[in-house]
Structure 1
Amino acid sequence: MEPSVWPVVTLSLKVALTATVAALPLALAVAVLLSRSRLPGLWVVNVIVHLPLILPPVVTGYLLLVLFGRRGAVGAWLADIGIVFAFNWTGAALAAGVMSFPLMVRAIRLAVDAVDPRVEAASRNLGAGPVATFVCVTLPLIAPGILAGIIIAFAKALGEFGATITFVSNIPDVTRTLPLAIYTELQVPGGEAGAAVLVGISVAISVVALVGSEVLAGRAARWVRGA
């Protein structure tokens, strides 16, 4: 079977980019909260954030289906206003975002932990408010960590399989991303050649992303040292 390669590639990139961009603001906020806040019970937030790393992806996909399906607790309400996740590419992006979210949070949190709180305190003592301190001091210092989190999350989103197929199924040109397409090819007699093509494309995208991240991380690190 000759695979329809480019629709799969473009859909996979759209899903991974959407998941990564949508998760970034919340991941940044949660990482700062976990690193800097001393609120009681914060361990509960930490457990919830990292739960997708522990649960089998199929379980995560099932929970997403229960919550965001057309008859789900949240999905039914969203469907009434025209937002549908189940069996749609947006659902694939949601599943990928949920699975990659803990990795992004962890990378950013490690970067925030590495920032000396005395630097932020000095900024506030000089008259800068909390927002100005974060934007002008903390954010530039954690930029390499944010970049690392973005790349890790993108790679995870690009390779997500279990939660995606459980939540949105394997619909051609709608939810069939690269991992699902490879799986589909391997279920067909003689599909190994098509699977090999898709595997090669996956490896190429991953290599480009990793090389690009190394280049950008190096530039960000030099910019921070020179700031």
Structure 2
Amino acid sequence: MSAGFTPQEIDTVYRVIQERRDVRHFVPGPVDEAVIARLLHAAHQAPSVGYMQPWRFIRIASPAVRSAIIDLVEAERLNTAAALGARGAEFMRLKVEGIRECGALFVVALADGREAHVFGRRTLPEMDLASVACAIQNMWLASRAEGLGMGWVSLFDPEQLAQLLAMPDGARPVAVLCLGHVAQFYPRPMLEMEGWDTRRALDSLVAVNTWSNTAGK
């Protein structure tokens, strides 16, 4: 039975995955509303454990709220630098967000009431977070296919951000997503280009039957 995709279409899927980047540098300007609708639809098509669909998207339209989020991120940036010790100064030189410049800003959160969903979560309750991550990845890949950059910012205090956005008890912010136009996409992941870390060899991360029986041995 045919998979329903041409070789060229299959190649495009792998190309989008390979060229997806966590973007920090944006060209100011609005993002087309029809494109935003398509990206949110792509996110909503993500798989979710027990079909719980725990993702919630809050679009930040207010300049004042955007500014308040910037303050939260900056506070956590300083805390992270302190926690990094010897690498703190190196971290502070990195551009870690594009909230000021991006054309559209979203906060993605876990919905409240998740305790009612037991299917697939009885022993692994964190699968709600895994489901939200799948939705974010869908949006990320679709953004890249649309020629837009997207950056995932996780430098914030979740309780403070939840309070800022008047989230109900039990809801929890997961990501601040910066979306917008770019002058160009990074040829490699930015943190790799900056020398922060390198991509590990795949065969060191794949094992057979037991943890230590890796393909690289």
- Is the structural similarity TM-score above 0.5? no
Of Structure 1 and Structure 2, the greater strand share is in 2
Larger radius of gyration: 1
TM range (shorter): under 0.3
More helix by share: 1
